[in-house]
Amino acid sequence: MSKAGTKAVQTAVMGVTGYAGAELARLLVRHPRFRQTPPVFVGRAETKHAGAHKAQALGEIHPELQDSHGTGSLAVQPFSWELMEDLGVDVLFLATPHELSREMVPQARKRGIQVIDLSGAWRLEEAENRVVYGFEDEGSDEALKTQDEAVYGMPELHRAEIFGAGLIANPGCYATSVILALKPLVAAGLVDLEHGIVADAKSGVSGAGKAPTAKTHYMYAADNLSAYAVFGHRHTGELLEQVGVPAESMIFTPHLLPIPRGILSTIYARFYEPQTNASVEHVYREFFKGSPMVRLYGAHLPQIQYSVRTNYCDLGFQLSKDGRKAVIVSCLDNLLKGAAGQAVQNLNVMQGWGEAEGLE
C-alpha cells in the first residue's frame, strides 16, 4: 500500500506525561519520517481549562528523553484547537483517559484531523460491551457517528481498513495479547467453542497507568500476585468482538505481576479434531504472513523477557498427547505492542509507510 504524494505528516501527542505517552514520544522523535518534522506535544488538560497550563520542556517531564538531538528541549505546550490548526497537525495521538477522548475525537474529526486514540473510548462496536465504561454520551447521534467511523487498530486483523482511516481505536494491551493468540485458530474453525476458552493473563504494574493506587503501591504489588476485575475487565468486550466468540465461550482473568512492564497470557483451548504441531503452526504462519510485529515460536514457549521493550507479540503453543487440547502462550510489552508501539504501527499503516518503520 502507498499513498500518493510526499507531503510531510505533522503529528501531535496529547497525554505525554503518562507511561504510554512517554514511550510514544520516544518512538516518534526517533521515527525516520519525523527527522525534519518532530511531533507537537500538548498538555493533557480538560479542553476548557487547557489554556491555563504553561509550556514545559519534554526533558523536564521525562529526563530520559534528553539526547544530543535536542529532544529534551521540545516544548509540551498548552492545548488549543487554534494551535493544532496553526501548526497544521495532520494526526493527533490521544494518550488520554477515555472520558477526555470521547470529547476530543469528534472535535478533531470535524477539523479533518486524523486521530489515533490509545484509550478505550472508541474500541467497542457493541453497545452491550460499552456499558462497562459508562459513557455519558452513549447513544447520542455524535457518539454513534464517531463510533461508526472508528477502526479497531490491530494491523494484523484490519490492515486494509486502517490505511487512510480517520479514527483508529488503539487496542487494549491484554486484548492484543489474547486476540493475536486466538484469532487464527478460531478463524480456521479449529476451536471447540462449546467446550470454552480460558485466557489467564498477567501484566506488569505499568499496565495500571501512572496514577498511584493502593493496589499498585510497592508494598502491595511487590512479592505478590493477584487476580482482579474477574468477570468484569474492560478488555473482555474487545476479545469477544475481535476473536468472534460468544460471551459464554470465554473466561478472561487478568492478574497483577510484581514487575514494571510486560504481559504473559496463557490461553487454554480444545480443538474439534486432533491437531499436530505442524498443522497448528501452519495456521499461525498463514494468518500472520506479512505481519512483521508477530514472532512465532512454534512449540517453544515465549517469555516476557523476550518481548519486553520491543513492539513484538511473541506466540508459542504446546499440544496434549492426543492433539485435542492446546496451551498457547502470548507475550508482549504492554507499553509498546500493547499501547504506544502499536499506535505507531497503526500510523505507519494509516499513512501507507512500512509497517515496522521506527519500531525495529
3-state secondary structure 114-171: EEEECCCCCCCCCHHHHHHHCCCCCCCHHHHHHHHHCEECCHHHHHHHHCCCCEEECC
Confidence band for 202, pLDDT divided at 50, 70 and 90: very high
Neighbour tally for 160: CB within 10 Å: 12
Checking if the pLDDT of 49 tops 80, the result is no
pLDDT tier at 5 (50, 70, 90 boundaries)? very low
Average pLDDT of 277-305?
Answer: 97
User: Is 348:354 a contact under the CB 8 Å cutoff?
Assistant: yes
Beta carbons within 10 angstroms of residue 80's beta carbon: 13
pLDDT value at position 177? 98
Phi first, then psi: give them for residue 104, nearest 5 degrees: -75, -40
In this prediction the pTM is: 0.94
Distance CA 94, CA 106 (A): 12
Which of 83 and 217 is assigned the larger pLDDT?
A: 83
Mean pLDDT, range 130-153, rounded to an integer: 96
327: pLDDT strictly greater than 60? yes
What residues form DSSP beta bridges with 327? 268, 318
Rounded to an integer, the average pLDDT of 206-213 is: 83
Q: Facing residues of 240 across strands?
A: none
Residue 78, pLDDT > 60, answer yes
Question: Taking Cα atoms as reference points, which of 52, 49, 55, 136 lies closest to residue 98?
Answer: 136
Q: Which three cell numbers stand for residue 93?
A: 495521538
Instruction: Please tell me the class of the 11-170+339-351 domain.
Output: alpha beta
Given the residues 20, 28, 42, 173, the one annotated as active site: 173
Q: Is the CB of residue 346 less than 8 Å from the CB of residue 155?
A: yes
* 218 sits in which H/E element: helix 218-221
Assess if CATH 3.40.50.620 describes domain 173-332: no
- Whether the pLDDT of residue 47 is over 80: the answer is no
If one counts every other C-beta atom within 10 angstroms of the C-beta of residue 51, the result is 13
173 included as an active-site residue: yes
pLDDT in tens, 238-283: 999 999 999 999 999 999 999 999 999 999 999 999 999 999 999 9
Q: How many CB atoms lie within 10 A of CB 9?
A: 18
Domain ranges for the chain, please list them: 11-170+339-351, 173-332
Tell me the mean pLDDT in the region 148-160: 98
Percentage with pLDDT > 70 across the chain: 96
Q: Measure the CA dihedral 117/102/178/308, to 10°.
A: 40
Choice between 254 and 4, residue whose per-residue pLDDT is larger: 254
H helices of 269-317, in order, are 277-287, 304-307
Lookup: cell for 115: 486521530
pLDDT at 313 over 60: yes
In the predicted model, is pLDDT for residue 165 greater than 50? yes
Calculate mean pLDDT across residues 214-240: 91
Tally of CA atoms within 13 A in the half-sphere of 292 that contains its CB: 14
Residue 192, pLDDT > 90, answer yes
pLDDT digits (tens, 9 = 90+) for 88-113: 999 999 999 999 999 999 999 999 99
Model confidence band, residue 4 (pLDDT cutoffs 50, 70, 90): very low
54 confidence band (pLDDT: 50, 70, 90) = confident
Q: How many CB atoms lie within 10 A of CB 50?
A: 18
